[in-house]
A and B are shown apart, each in its own frame.
Chain A
Amino acid sequence: MCVLVYAENAGGKLKKSSFEAISYGNEIARMLGVDLRVISIGEVADDELKKPGNYGAKKILNASSEKLKIFINQAYATVIAEAAKAEDAKVIVLSASFSGKGLASRIAIKLDAGLADGAVSLPEVTNGFKVRKTAFSGKAFAEVMLTSDRKMITLIPNSYKIVENIQQAEIVNFDPVINDADFKMSVKETVRASDKISLPDAELVVSAGRGMKGPENWGMVEELANLLGAATACSKPVSDANWRPHSEHVGQTGISISPNLYIAIGISGAIQHLAGVSSSKNIVVINKDPEAPFFKAADYGIVGDAFEVLPKLIEALKKFKAASA
């Protein structure tokens, strides 16, 4: 018996959210008194592949056959399901990344396993197997009991802290049989802004809305983000107007994020927007309208014009960084 974690990689590097899932899986393994094993699929260099061993993994399965170089969910689902069977995994954990969600769902059918998607904390394993996740677009939490023999969880990025736990991990090749039928869908093109910080995984986010008046004014927003090492995001009207890329839209019909810090500039805070950010640990709202609904959902706020406040905030941060250097 073991806990098996799928460690997703991007361009051959294991993602931050993968290490979060590994630490999370490690703690579940400890609670159940079983080993933690990790599976990686695709081309990942040896020194990168060893890393899960620093976070509790005793065994790392390396599925690096040529066919698996590019992510195709059907094929990857087969590989992970086969790994789960081979390693007798009772709990399988994936990150709730864009790829993870569909992948986990297919694996759940293959393994006849209950899937708790979008977990925000560790499961309770003393009386059954209960997982806490968000529901009603961030307005509530649901506690889900998994009644199947095998259990699956996808973990929301930035919900669990990475914890070091150095083990002697063995790396083994894993090469299960995969049918051609699993490769019916194929990738034509991948478009990724690789220099930017990935928004769903980001710990710090600077977001702006219509209050910025136009795309030409985003320089300050980006400057603030760069100073903080934050990802940039935007509201739906801004994305609809093509002022910012659609991948930055956070909200009910955009991306849901749960960063440690969410700074919202010139965004009123409509319910649909809040649905995407309500799990943020700290929310700062900058808006010139004191009646803006967002202030009711904020931890800190400044009532002021973005064009006045942003330069001041940038200055204050520069001063702070210089002082702590």
Chain B
Amino acid sequence: MKILVCISNVPDTTTKINFTPDNKSLVTQGVQFIINPYDEMALTRALELTETSSGTVTVINVGDASTEPTIRKALAIGATDAIRVNAVPHDAFFVAKQIAEIARKNNYDLILAGRESIDYNGSQVPAMIGELLGIPSVSICKSLKLDGTTVTVEREIEGGKEVLTSTLPIIAGASEGIAEPRIPNMRGIMSARTKPLTVVEPVEVSPHTQVVNYDKPKPRGQVNLIPVDNVDKLVELLHTEAKVI
């Protein structure tokens, strides 16, 4: 069984976000980069699946050389090998096209990605890859089970979930619930250094979108603290000031 897991290199959640003076990019100095949490869940599920039926898990990342430490982390967690497409991830379309290009040449049985990255919050890449390859996609996948070549997935819907089945190949965007992420052990960390990490050049793709400005939300003012013995005041403020009730 050949599984491809798409990973992206994102700033840690707890990072303070600051932008360059032109407001077009993130200030990366002092920022800790990690594997996108949803991608980590995807990788873990892939490893669980290949443990029960032998197979390989290839991780793929679209990024410049600065993403390699993150890719090595994925190898340390247990991926078999890695591919880095040597390009800055301009937008979701660009990334999806690069990954689809690699996937087309390699006949993966299953492709997993995170449902969205915590920096761009796009939720586009998995379904875009699915459309480019002409395979079914599940964008917000909470559970994925395999039975031979039949896959059963659960996707999130408002107030509940839906259970779907398909034959392979499919692509799923991993969401919470699909797997508990693993901490790499010493052996994993040691072997990560020698596992293959192949760098390939990107294919020519014109992005469809461009971020022209980033800004931060205006901070909320000082909180209006209401004394515990005057809860009526809160109700009044919610009615007259906030106008929400």
Binding site for B on A (CB under 8 A): 10, 73-74, 77, 96-99, 101-106, 108-110, 112-118, 130, 133-148, 181, 184-194, 196, 198-201, 203-204, 228, 246-247, 249, 252-254, 256, 260-261, 271-272, 275, 278, 281-285, 295-304, 308-309, 312-313, 315-317, 319-320
Contact = CB atoms under 8 A, between A and B. Distances in A.
Given A189-B162, A246-B177, 20 more contacts: A106-B128, A114-B209, A115-B209, A142-B213, A143-B213, A144-B212, A147-B210, A148-B209, A185-B165, A188-B164, A190-B161, A246-B176, A247-B160, A261-B242, A300-B224, A300-B226, A300-B242, A302-B226, A302-B234, A313-B234
B121 A147 contact: no
A153 B176 CA distance: 25
Indicate the member of A102, A130, A285, A301 with the most B CB atoms within 10 Å: A102
Contacts of B213: 142-143
Which 10 interchain pairs have the tightest Cβ spacing?
A102-B139, A114-B208, A105-B127, A192-B160, A304-B228, A185-B136, A185-B166, A109-B131, A102-B127, A261-B244
A112 B206 CA distance: 11
A120 B225 CA distance: 29
Contact of B157 (A99, A148, A282): A99
A312 B209 contact: no
B108 interface: no
B167 interface: yes
B123 A117 contact: yes
Interface string B132-158: 101111111010000000001001111
14 contacts: A98-B155, A101-B124, A102-B137, A109-B132, A134-B121, A135-B211, A136-B119, A147-B207, A188-B152, A191-B160, A200-B158, A204-B245, A278-B217, A309-B228
Contacts of B245: 204, 228, 261, 317, 320
B51 interface: no
Contacts of B209: 114-116, 144-148
A145 B130 CA distance: 24
A110 B137 CA distance: 14
Indicate the member of A115, A198, A246, A313 with the most B CB atoms within 10 Å: A115
B224 A204 contact: no
B11 interface: yes
Nearest to B100: A109
A106 to B, nearest CB: 4
B118 to A, nearest CB: 5
B226 A73 contact: no
B13 to A, nearest CB: 6
Interface in B22-41: 26, 37-38
B220 interface: yes
Interface in B148-200: 152, 155-167, 170, 173, 175-177
B148 to A, nearest CB: 16
Given A140-B214, A146-B208, A253 B158 contact: no
B128 A312 contact: no
A300 B233 CA distance: 11
